Copies of this chain bind each other. A is one copy, B any other.
Amino acid sequence: MADWWTTDATHDPALTSWVESAQGHADFPIQNLPIGLFSPSGLAPRIGVAIGDRILDLRACADAGLLPDDLAAACRGSVVNDLLGLPADRRRALRHGVSGLLSDPAHRSAAAFLHAAADCTLHVPARIGDYTDFYVGIHHANNVGRQFRPDNPLLPNYKYVPIGYHGRASSIRASGVPLRRPLGQRKPPEADAPVVGPTTRLDYELELGVWIGPGNALGTPIPIAQAADHVAGFCLLNDWSARDFQAWEYQPLGPFLAKNFQSTISPWIVTAEAMAPFRMAQPARPQGDPQPLPYLLDPGDQAHGALALTLEAWLLTARMREAGGTPVRLSRGPATSMYWTVQQIVAHHASNGCNLNPGDLLGTGTISAPTSDGFGSLMELSIGGKEPITLPNGETRAFVEDGDEIILRAHASAPGRVSIGLGECRAMVMPAP
């Protein structure tokens, strides 16, 4: 189906909101309307929609009778899972309702349901049943593969299998929650045995997160042509990684403690509907690469399944903060560096009958551009720590240091369209316990 690849009046670039701050807002103009879970100061979490620098309280809208019954019930949840589980046409109905409410000056009275975002706490929006991380950034796979396996960077399965592995759901935190530098085992190359201590090679990974919508029953694969119906929205994901732990522990069953100590997401779910104008053709595979296997190949997906999204990573060090400085950009690159589309990873995940549920989170894996100005991790930027990068204030970084804040951002843009953003994914590193 995937008719959310089509645009409608909610995407009209001429549409404006009576919420003044929405006009020209870099992330949340009226064309976006992302869904999240927020607490106004001192109150319990509730579902809301970001508009400019405000948040619309959907529970209050439901209680005021502004939403049809099914949407009202889903919007009264203490997490967004029921909302994500709605069929795509009902999610779109919610978008249309909220768009009308916030654009038509006749509804200015709904200002009573707005909160200043700056006064609210944002939460992980869903109860994440399962979190899966993929590895679809082919330039990242090449860069990292070269460091772990110099003779064999890209394994023979890479161009056939959207490589993924299960991650830890419990340690996913919303933007703003600091993380502790983890303790763990690492084996220095010259040592006979591993040592235990704080990671010396803490890294970030710039990823896109994908929120699963309705999902499938156990034993029933999702055909690629229907995969888009199960993509509810997007966020940013920082898959914090301890590279020294990873190198020692990852064989034969994959990364574990190197990546499950904390992962940070941007708290707003930018819906699949909001992304409609920013759909684009999946870039052609390089000459000589195999065609995707039939269960991963769909003409609609090839024509519209990629995202015109630019991803960025920024760094604010303690010294920069103390000097009153602003973050510096570490990298910037397009989401088209994904070798597989979001729909392909969804179809692959369910191809063996594995059941996906509303509120499950998928990570794309680090998305690096082909050149170093778009590398999505310090491991790549510093070539495994061997060539530390120099920051404008003279500091250098091989890996992330205590007091550093990593900030991920992403914006979607297309000719004649109002650009939208995913909001910030930010966290500061605290010293080891």
Contacts and interface: CB of A to CB of B under 8 A. Distances in A.
Contacts of A182: 352-353
A219 interface: yes
15 contacts: A145-B252, A157-B248, A160-B185, A171-B218, A182-B353, A185-B293, A196-B294, A196-B295, A219-B433, A252-B254, A257-B352, A257-B354, A261-B353, A262-B353, A353-B433
Interface residues of A, number: 65
A242 interface: yes
Interface in A150-179: 155-157, 160-161, 163-171, 173, 179
A372 interface: no
Contacts of A163: 249, 252-253, 256
A154 B63 CA distance: 61
Contacts of A399: none
Interface stretch (A18-26, A54-62, A355-363, A375-383): A355-363
A252 B253 CA distance: 8
A38 interface: no
Interface string A342-355: 00000011011111
- 5 closest cross-chain pairs (CB), A and B: A254-B254, A182-B352, A166-B166, A165-B253, A180-B219
Nearest to A161: B249
B252 A170 contact: no
Interface string A179-203: 1101111010000011010000000
A415 interface: no
Contact of A155 (B149, B185, B251, B260): B251
Contacts of A179: 219
Interface of A: 129-130, 135, 145, 148-149, 155-157, 160-161, 163-171, 173, 179-180, 182-185, 187, 193-194, 196, 218-221, 242, 245, 248-257, 260-262, 290, 293-295, 348-349, 351-357, 360, 433
A290 B195 CA distance: 13
Contacts of A170: 129-130, 218, 354-357, 360
A154 B274 CA distance: 50
B166 A165 contact: yes
B193 A354 contact: no
Among A179, A255, A257, A262, residue most surrounded by chain B Cβ atoms (within 10 Å): A257
Given A170-B356, A193-B290, A356-B170, A351 B183 contact: yes
A352 B171 CA distance: 11
Given A171-B355, A185-B160, A165 B254 contact: yes
Contacts of A293: 185, 194, 196
Contacts of A129: 169-170
A87 to B, nearest CB: 20
Contacts of A148: 252
Nearest to A193: B290
Contacts of A360: 170
B161 A185 contact: yes
Contact of A194 (B130, B160, B356): B160
A118 to B, nearest CB: 25
Among A145, A182, A220, residue most surrounded by chain B Cβ atoms (within 10 Å): A182
A260 B165 CA distance: 10
Contacts of A193: 160, 290
Among A145, A156, A219, A295, residue most surrounded by chain B Cβ atoms (within 10 Å): A219
A294 B357 CA distance: 40
A127 to B, nearest CB: 9
Contacts of A290: 193
Contacts of A242: 352
